[in-house]
Amino acid sequence: MDDVLEMGRSMNKNETAETWKRQSQLGIVAKRIAKNPTALIGFIFLVLLVLMAVFAPYIAPYDYTEQNLMNTRSAPSLENPFGTDELGRDVMSRVIYGSRYSLSIGILSVLLGTSIGMFFGAIAGYFGGTVDNIIMRFIDILQSIPGTLLAITVSVVLGPGYFNSMLALSIGAIPMSVRLLRASILGIRGEEYLEAATSINARTHRIILRHIIPNTFAPILVSGTMMIGHVILSAAMLSFIGLGIQPPMPEWGSMIAGGRNLIRSCPHIVTFPGIFIMIAVLSINLFGDGLRDALDPKLKK
């Protein structure tokens, strides 16, 4: 009796689950995001920012290094919509070029950190035992240092600069992905042990590569997206205490840091990069929220 009544439902479930995963996952996610107005706005702004970064040379009215020592610190005008900085460079052009550095440092740090994390997470989950123990203890230690302080420490050692900052900031993204991947692999390994008393076999390899990594992709993607915003802010913070990206690279945080002494006399030099940081982080967060809801309404960070 129970079987009869439940049968239809379970058939239904199996079928939809398969199709959902195999074919139209991307489509469903896209559809859900498109239906969520805030996520859509976030996505549109994000796309605009990325386009701005990619096509910076075509959009920016001037080169970001082009100086005009006769026209420094000028307020916003028609020629220089965001004004000029203390070397007479066009702030708007610098903000446009700056999106390249700010966005890329955010995205690349998270990508790097996540890749490292996934690698070690896979190793920990796959080998288990001592290896797992060592990796997880190390992650525990890493997580008990406040992220900002860890980034500062590593930056102090590596020195300032684009790549060094990126390395320093990527560390913050490691623990999350280690834990996610390890947990998924341990889950599967548990099942394997139940099925057959053999140790890890070829099937496990295949499962890890084909199923676990794609499946942990969703949560990693969501928290990774959210982390990008945080990393952009952290990069700005590093620049602020003199450890981040150095001029003349027009990273937004370093533009604020460089112009903070002018906050009373020429506020436009710090206002515009500040606004763009806010827009970028805001749209990443809006998009991340939407992505989370779309990938799994129950997946809450």
Partner 1 sequence: MKKIVFLTPVLFLFSIGLLFAAGQGDSKSAAADATPEVVLAIGADPGDLAPFVGMSNGRITVLHTIYEYLFYLDKAGDPLSPYLAKDLEKIDDVTYHVFLYENIYDSAGNHITAEDAAWSYQTAMDMNYLRPVGDIESVSVVDEYTVEFVLKRKPLVGDLEKVLCEAPIVSKTAYEASSDKFAKNPVTSSPYKLSQYIPGSKLVFERRDDYWQKDLSLGPKYNRANIEKVVMQVITEPAQHSIALETKTVDISAMVTSDDVKNFEGRDGYSIFTFQDNLAVILQFNGKDGSPFASKELRQAMAYAIDSKAMCQAVAPGASTPLVTVGNSNFGGYQTKWENENYYAYDVARAKALAASAGVTPGTRIRLLQMNEPRYSLITQIIQYQLSEIGIQLEINQVEASVFNELKYDDSAWDIMLDTVAGGNFIFSPWLLAFDQTKNKGLTGGFVLDNKLQSLLTEASSTFTPESIDAFHKYQKDMNYAYGLLSFHNIVVAVEGVDKLVRDERNQIVPGSCEFSPEFK
Partner 2 sequence: MSENDTMLSVRDLSVEYTSEGKVISAVNGVSFDLKRGRTLGLVGETGAGKTSTAKSIMRILPDISSRITAGEIYLEGKEILCLSEKEMRRIRGRKVSMIFQDPMTALNPIIKVGEQIREVIIQHNSISKKESVARAKEMLELVGISGDRYHEYPHQFSGGMKQRVVIAIALSCNPELLLADEPTTALDVTIQAQVMETIKKLKEELNTSMLLITHDLGVVASACDDVAVIYGGEIIEMGSKEVVFDNPLHPYTQGLFEALPEMEEDAERLKPIGGMPPDPSNLPKGCFFGPRCPHPGENCSTERKQLVEIEPGHFCRCGRALKMENSNG
Partner 3 sequence: MIPVVLGVTILIFTIMYFIPGDPVKLMLGPDSTPEQIEAKRADLGLNDPYVVRLGKYVGGIVLEFDFGDSWVYNTPVTHELLNRLPRTLAIALASMIIQIIIGIPIGVFAAVYQNRFWDRLAMFIALIGISMPEFWVALMMVLLFSVEWGILPPFGIGGIQYYILPVFALSLAGIATQARQTRSSMLEIIRSDFITTARSKGISQMRTLFRHALPNALLPVITVIGNGMGRLLGGAVVIEAIFSIPGVGMYMVGAINARDYNVVMSSVIILAIVFALIMLLVDLVYAMIDPRIKAQFAGKRRSKNNG
Closest C-alpha among 291, 300, 286, 301 to residue 32 = 291
Question: x/- string (CB under 8 A) for partner 1, residues 79-108?
Answer: -------xxx--------------------
Residue 160 binds partner 1, judged by CB under 8 A: yes
Residue 4 interface partner, choices partner 3, partner 1, partner 2, none, CB cut-off 5-8 Å depending on type: partner 2
Helix axes 213-240, 147-158, angle to 10 degrees: 70
- Per CB under 8 A, the list member of 10, 65, 77, 198 interacting with partner 1 is 65
Closer residue to partner 1 in complex, CB, 158/186: 158
**Which residue, chain included where needed, has tokens 């009544």?**
5
DSSP-derived letter for residue 75 is: P
- Per CB under 8 A, the list member of 110, 220, 231, 270 interacting with partner 3 is 270
Residue 76 binds partner 1, judged by CB under 8 A: no
Residue 73 binds partner 1, judged by CB under 8 A: yes
Stretch that binds partner 2, among 8-16, 141-149, 223-231, 271-279 (CB under 8 A): 8-16
Closer residue to partner 3 in complex, CB, 50/299: 299
Closer residue to partner 2 in complex, CB, 6/296: 6
Structure tokens at 212: 């676990």
DSSP-derived letter for residue 171 is: G
Structure tokens at 297: 């309404």
Structure tokens at 128: 């288990």
DSSP-derived letter for residue 245 is: P
- Per CB under 8 A, the list member of 106, 125, 229, 258 interacting with partner 3 is 229
Structure tokens at 268: 């436009």
Q: Helices in 55-201 by DSSP H: which ranges?
A: 56-59, 91-127, 129-143, 147-158, 162-170, 174-195
- Per CB under 8 A, the list member of 13, 21, 35, 137 interacting with partner 2 is 35
